[in-house]
Amino acid sequence: MDLKEYIADIPDFPEPGVLFRDVTPLLADKDAYKEAIRLLVDFAKEKDVDVIAGPEARGFLFGCPVATELNCGFVPVRKPGKLPRKVVTKSYDLEYGSNEIQMHSDSIQPGQNVLIVDDLLATGGTVQATVSLIEQMGGNVVGIAFLIELEALKGRKLLTGYDVYSVLKY
Ligand SMILES: O=P(O)(O)OC[C@H]1O[C@H](OP(=O)(O)OP(=O)(O)O)[C@H](O)[C@@H]1O
Ligand SMILES: Nc1ncnc2[nH]cnc12
């Protein structure tokens, strides 16, 4: 099955010059969604994963099903002001704008093996910030998996030394 048929291309969203890769048609199709999760799980099951971390919001849509398939937990990486307890915070740049992400400061235990799952790798800023928070808490990043990689934006360059997998490359 060609999963690219389930990604909608939206020019100039959310701002002029950005070609937005919309995963909502894939999520809406039970077979395409299942196949996407199966491919992410195939990568993940080769790792000794204790917990999956996924950035808000679209990272939840792919990270949580992979976590239940792997029989491990899920830790949310959230936009500022959403988590109720003590947090660790990191700033990062996006293809459009900049932001901060937060994790609960006790969400990763020292020595835990963490797999990061997100829908899309663009500049790499979100995932680089996520790696930084996980390592600050003493976690080992054993892999990073995306549904989509936008190769022209060279996000992989920020992730040198990590095992990075993407299902679909553009
Ligand atoms: O590689 P980068 O340049 O960091 O970009 C990729 C990130 O951008 C998008 O999230 P966004 O912050 O738009 O949030 P959303 O999932 O809540 O829509 C996407 O889901 C990735 O997390
Ligand atoms: N081009 C893009 N399409 C969808 N999500 C994105 N996040 C960052 N860049 C994106």
Residues 53-79: pLDDT tens digits?
Answer: 999 999 999 999 999 999 999 999 999
Q: Residue 120 CA: which ligand is closest?
A: 1
95 is known as an active-site residue: yes
**Per-residue model confidence (pLDDT) at position 94:** 77
Could you tell me the CA-to-CA distances from 122 to 22, 56, 103 in Å, in that order? 13, 15, 21
Q: Measured from the CB, is residue 95 less than 6 Å from ligand 2?
A: yes
**Per-residue model confidence (pLDDT) at position 138:** 98
**Per-residue model confidence (pLDDT) at position 93:** 79
Ligand 1 site, CB within 6 A? 55-59, 94-95, 118-126, 155
pLDDT digits (tens, 9 = 90+) for 12-21: 999 999 999 9
**Per-residue model confidence (pLDDT) at position 37:** 98
Q: Is the pLDDT of residue 97 over 80?
A: no
Q: Which residue CA neighbors atom 3 of ligand 2 most closely? A: 20
pLDDT digits (tens, 9 = 90+) for 112-170: 999 999 999 999 999 999 999 999 999 999 999 999 999 999 999 999 999 999 999 99
Mean of pLDDT over the chain: 96
Q: Is the pLDDT of residue 92 over 80?
A: yes
Q: Measured from the CB, is residue 57 less than 6 Å from ligand 2?
A: no
**Per-residue model confidence (pLDDT) at position 75:** 98
Could you tell me the CA-to-CA distances from 17 to 7, 11, 12, 94, 153 in Å, in that order? 18, 7, 5, 14, 13
Cα(87)–Cα(127) distance, integer angstroms:
17
Q: Which CATH architecture has domain 49-169?
A: 3-Layer(aba) Sandwich (3.40)
Q: Is the pLDDT of residue 9 over 90?
A: yes
Give the model's confidence band at 81: pLDDT under 50 very low, under 70 low, under 90 confident, else very high: very high
Question: What percent of the chain stands above pLDDT 90?
Answer: 95
H or E element that contains 99: strand 98-104
